[in-house]
């Protein structure tokens, strides 16, 4: 009987049951068991290597001297070039790979900016409450009333030159509100915990409590939302570039490729539109799937 119970206990320990783990240790354990996490993670890593190290995937940039040949303009896919050529005679695969950086790096910068701003404002509003919460909440409500795409469209039209810095600035200005609202609610729930009262009773300052306890135990929902938002920023950049207020030539961008291809797709040059759209869809889907898996792992109520 004792041997049977010992065998069952050992089996449970091998499966990870009954093991005391921290919050983040439990998250790592849950993620490692999900195939969807590994699929989305591999896709994200491939996309990131294309963004930061495009030469690993396409040796020559479409903007390099002699890389484009007008005699190949709108060339359809062949065995030698399965992605065909762009309307400018550039290799479509090289244009897609080198255009990844413009979209993904922008999304990463915007996500970092909105996360920092959202965490700071949400923590201040949720922890200090009172007048601080009222002011931040009302400002948040004002920005919530401004449509993201429409507001970005109007503001970007005011810039004579639109690059990664101007796009990042405008996106951050209109994208911080959701993260602030989520962080505020999470902080309000966290600051009512017993360990926060215990820290106060021991004489800990507000800044120490916020740094060591409040942010660490409130930021999980923000991480999930930021991961999902990163994918939406990629599609937003492509949308604004398509509308003519995003990146401009000679930059390589998915939005520019879509804008060029949409007028020629119905004329039989389907690859000019299908391939850029496919890259956008796969990239956005990869980040959204990763965010969904993180949400399930970070929320024990889903298990």
Is residue 2 one of the residues assigned to a domain? no
Name residue 85's beta-bridge partners: 91
Task: Give 35-39's long-range contacts (Cβ < 8 A, gap of 24+).
Answer: 36/289, 36/292, 36/293, 37/290, 37/293, 37/297, 39/289
pLDDT tens digits along 203-249:
888 888 888 888 888 888 898 888 888 888 988 888 888 888 888 87
Token couple for 218: 């409130």
What does DSSP assign to residue 30? H
Is residue 32 one of the residues assigned to a domain? yes
Is residue 156 one of the residues assigned to a domain? yes
Query: Average pLDDT, whole number, for the chain?
Result: 82
* Alpha carbon distances (Å) from 232 to 55, 228, 251: 26, 7, 21
Identify whether the C-beta of residue 237 lies closer than 8 Å to the C-beta of residue 252.
no
| Angle, vertex CA 209, rays to CA 206 and CA 213, nearest 5 | 155
Which residue from 32, 37, 6 is spatially nearest to 21, judged by alpha carbons?
32
Is residue 5 one of the residues assigned to a domain? no
pLDDT of residue 24: 62
* Alpha carbon distances (Å) from 31 to 133, 185, 217, 228, 290: 35, 25, 19, 17, 10
Considering its fold, how many domains does the chain have in total?
1
Q: What is the CATH number of the domain that holds 52?
A: 1.10.3720.10
Is residue 13 one of the residues assigned to a domain? no
Asked if the model's pLDDT at residue 19 lies above 80, the reply is: no
Is residue 6 one of the residues assigned to a domain? no
The domain of 47 spans 21-60+79-302
Token couple for 251: 């930059």
Asked if the model's pLDDT at residue 5 lies above 60, the reply is: no
Is residue 202 one of the residues assigned to a domain? yes
- The mean-pLDDT minimum among 54-68, 75-89, 273-287 falls in 54-68
Taking the CA of residue 191 as centre, how many other CA atoms within 13 Å lie in the half-sphere pointing to its CB? 22
What 3-state DSSP class applies to 91?
strand
Is residue 193 one of the residues assigned to a domain? yes
Query: What is the average pLDDT across 17-46?
Result: 76
* Alpha carbon distances (Å) from 295 to 1, 221, 239, 289: 41, 7, 27, 10
pLDDT tens digits along 96-119:
998 888 888 899 999 999 999 999
Neighbour count for residue 117 (Cβ, 10 Å)? 18
Task: Using only the alpha carbons of the chain, give its radius of gyration.
Answer: 24
Peptide bond just before 260 cis, omega within 30 deg: no
């Amino acid at each position: 009987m004792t041997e049977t119970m010992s065998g069952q206990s050992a089996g449970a320990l091998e499966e990870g049951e009954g093991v005391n783990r921290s919050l983040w240790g439990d998250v790592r354990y849950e993620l490692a068991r999900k195939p969807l996490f590994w699929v989305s993670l591999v896709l994200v890593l491939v996309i990131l290597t294309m963004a930061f190290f495009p030469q690993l995937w396409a040796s020559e940039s479409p903007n390099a001297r002699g890389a484009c040949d007008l005699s190949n303009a709108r060339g359809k896919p062949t065995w030698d070039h399965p992605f065909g050529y762009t309307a400018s005679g550039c290799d479509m695969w090289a244009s897609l790979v080198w255009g990844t950086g413009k979209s993904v790096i922008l999304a990463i910068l915007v996500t970092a900016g909105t996360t920092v701003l959202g965490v700071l404002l949400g923590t201040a509003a949720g922890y200090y409450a009172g007048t601080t919460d009222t002011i931040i909440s009302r400002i948040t409500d004002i920005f919530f009333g401004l449509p993201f795409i429409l507001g970005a469209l109007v503001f970007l039209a005011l810039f004579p030159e639109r690059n990664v810095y101007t796009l990042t600035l405008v996106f951050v200005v209109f994208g911080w509100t959701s993260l602030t609202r989520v962080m505020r609610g999470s902080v309000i729930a966290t600051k009512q915990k017993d360990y926060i009262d215990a820290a106060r009773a021991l004489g800990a300052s507000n800044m120490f409590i916020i740094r060591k306890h409040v942010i660490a135990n409130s930021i999980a929902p923000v991480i999930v939302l930021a991961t999902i938002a990163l994918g939406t920023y990629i599609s937003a950049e492509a949308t604004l570039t398509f509308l003519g207020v995003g990146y401009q030539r000679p930059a390589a961008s998915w939005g520019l490729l879509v804008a060029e291809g949409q007028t020629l797709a119905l004329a039989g040059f389907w690859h000019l539109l299908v391939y850029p759209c496919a890259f956008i869809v796969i990239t956005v889907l990869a980040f959204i799937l990763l965010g969904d898996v993180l949400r399930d792992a970070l929320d024990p109520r889903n298990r």
